Amino acid sequence: MEESPKYWERPASTPVPTVWRRCEGRRQTPEGKTLRFRIQDVPEDRHEDLLDFMIKYFTPDEPTMKKLKLYEDAGILEFLRGLYGEFLTQNLSLVAFLEEDEGELNKNVRPRIVGANLLAVAYKNEKFELPKNLSETVKKATRFWLDYIPKKFDSFEHYGVDHYLSGYGLCVLREFRGQGLGLEILKARFDLAKAVGLEVTVTSFTNISSQILAARVGFEEHAEIVYEEYKDDDGVVLFTDMETRSLKIMGKRVVLQGHSVPPKCHAAPIINALYRAEVSALLVAGRTNQSHLTAACHNTTCPDPRKEMLATTHHLRGLESLVKHAQFTSPSVADHGRLKMIVSILEY
């Protein structure tokens, strides 16, 4: 395991702010305009604006804070603002500006923040010093976040690192949702991680919408925590009637600049079967669905069938891409029986 620096610093070779992505919205406005967005590092002169944005829009929307109404608790909001401010000093967080907003045309008005992803380096055995005057509700919530969740999955052990890029809040303004902006922000996270040399990124995604986006861009699900199964020290269920069923710890190893690795499949038997034209044709033609792929995973020696990674749209598209572009060699005779079994599962 490599040694982590005492305090991570962004390489001088990657200037701040860097624009990581530009994208267009999927839907036109009622006026027939196509929205354009710019995703970049947070400029220093917009730090306070970004903190205002996260406190105002992210905290009331995050499922656990929303349920416990922590967005109304002045003590925890003050703590979070200070913590988020410390994160911003690492120059890793991302902001999405509305391109050609009035700020682009009038230099006296700054472009509007419409989305953000608060990011920072997480360290093994890191401890957060909490204020002593927190309310009992906040204390219960912090025990869930700081004690309970980390015990469910050891990201450092899994990836063999002692620091990684962590996400502490993904938010897109409601009026701009459905434009694909959240997806592009997560993709920009990978661009950033590659450029600054952070090979792993892990996040506890708390909302179903962010979980879906994360799966689409390639995050792997490592652990699921059902909200209503968690009880506080008094045996009381803390999160009831949640709109999102569970929290998911998801991560991805990022290929750093100057490095390359061959494509990795999380269900080796199925990728082996893709040597055969029959399965290739089925996938390219879309002749499969979630239940078939899930069944395929459960009926082979898949390392972790519960992940059902191949049951997602993202991974199906990835397989289709492999079929179309990869160079396949002839399988051995020993694969013939497995091939027939997988083909029978994938076919209608």
pLDDT number for residue 127? 87
Domain ranges of the chain: 19-253
**Is the confidence at residue 245, as pLDDT, over 90?**
yes
Mean pLDDT of 326-343: 40
pLDDT number for residue 341? 39
**Is the confidence at residue 107, as pLDDT, over 70?**
no
pLDDT number for residue 317? 42
pLDDT number for residue 255? 82
The rounded mean pLDDT for the chain is 79
**Is the confidence at residue 344, as pLDDT, over 80?**
no
**Chain segment 177-235, per-residue pLDDT in tens:** 999 999 999 999 999 999 999 999 999 999 999 999 999 999 999 999 999 999 999 99
Phi–psi pair at 165, nearest 5 degrees: -85, 120
Mean pLDDT of 234-244: 96
**Chain segment 3-20, per-residue pLDDT in tens:** 444 578 999 999 999 999
pLDDT band, very low/low/confident/very high, at 100 (cuts 50, 70, 90): confident
pLDDT number for residue 226? 97
Q: pLDDT over 70 for what percent of the chain? A: 70
pLDDT number for residue 128? 86
Name the fold adopted by 19-253: Aminopeptidase (3.40.630)
CA dist 68 → 100, 130, 142 (Å):
38, 18, 12
* pTM exceeds 0.75 for this model: no
Mean pLDDT of 239-257: 93
**Is the confidence at residue 282, as pLDDT, over 70?**
no
**Chain segment 287-331, per-residue pLDDT in tens:** 444 344 444 443 433 344 333 334 433 444 444 444 334 333 444
pLDDT number for residue 117? 98
pLDDT number for residue 174? 96
**Chain segment 43-99, per-residue pLDDT in tens:** 999 999 999 999 999 999 999 999 999 999 999 999 999 999 999 999 999 999 999
**Chain segment 134-177, per-residue pLDDT in tens:** 999 999 999 999 999 999 999 999 999 999 999 999 999 999 99
pLDDT number for residue 264? 42
Mean pLDDT of 272-281: 38
